[in-house]
Amino acid sequence: MAARLIDGKAIAASVRAEVREKAAELAARTGVRPGLTVVLVGDDPASRVYVRNKGKAADEAGFVSRQIDLPADTKEPELLEVVARLNADPSVHGILVQLPLPKHIDAKKVIEAIDPRKDVDGLHPVNAGLLFTGGAGFIPCTPYGILRMLDHEKVELKGKHAVVVGRSNLVGKPAAMLLLSRHATVTICHSRTEDLPSVVRTGDVVVAAVGRGGMIRGSWIKPGAVVIDVGMNRDAAGKLCGDVAFEEARQTAGAITPVPGGVGPMTIAMLLQNTCEAALRALS
């Protein structure tokens, strides 16, 4: 039997409606609208699309949405200056510096310059540390969205084996921490793991975040497993595809996220959720 499709678009729409309501309530009560500023350095076409979508979603949620475009040759101190200005601006509750940054800029330094209370990406070491130790910081939007989808689908995590393929700070590592916090037994593996297919085959839940189109084959999936595909790749024909060979995997999986329409929309929804939360915390 083919797997159930997990509709990220629909789940994201319900999160966004919830956030819109919370933002309206906050504005009615305090006169403050959540403010999100996205900084884009350079003109990477994919980043430009992502940033535009984030801005549009923030507008629709009733936020004060701003975008700062900087040229590709912006010097690191200039970018740090922009971040410092946003840190000091009380109308800005969330700051997002779109990654990747041009090579001459040290992304780590820029992320560390963001006030952790405005780090709605959850990438600052303070927030990463809070996730590690079980505190209430900001959770990176993609892993947060994954958890939200699993909750929506009522996927049992306690005692289950979750296999996370990929170890980035943006997705793999925080996803593993979140799954662990829900009492899953977690394995983090990656492109250099020996006999990766055998490891993936042990997963009741598989989170694929390696960034290689179709790398995870259907034969690697345990029958009935829940497969979350974070990949956003282009195939030879230029079509958007995930890290999982979808048509194969859906024959074996119990449930699976499509690409597009799976994890992608959730990332933006959780960014709005984090920004609204940052505004609420700033007022309390």
Q: Helix, strand, or coil here: 189?
A: strand
Closer to ligand GUN by Cβ: residue 100 or 129? 100
Closer to ligand GUN by Cβ: residue 138 or 246? 138
Distance CA 119, CA 139 (A): 9
Q: CB-hemisphere CA count at 13 Å for 8?
A: 24
Closer to ligand GUN by Cβ: residue 267 or 273? 267
Which residues belong to the active site? 54, 98, 121
Which parts of the chain are beta strand (E)? 4-5, 35-41, 64-70, 94-97, 161-165, 185-189, 205-208, 226-229, 233-234, 240-241, 255-256
Q: Token pair 């410092």 is at which residue?
A: 84
Q: How far is the CB of 6 from ligand GUN (least distance, A)?
A: 20
Q: How far is the CB of 27 from ligand GUN (least distance, A)?
A: 26
Distance CA 246, CA 234 (A): 14
Give the footprint of ligand GUN on this chain (CB under 6 A). Answer: 96-99, 121, 141-142, 170, 267
Report residue 152 as tokens: 């929506």
Closer to ligand GUN by Cβ: residue 26 or 278? 278
Give how far Cα 129 sits from Cα of 121, 122, 139, 177, Å: 14, 10, 10, 11
Q: How far is the CB of 98 from ligand GUN (least distance, A)?
A: 5
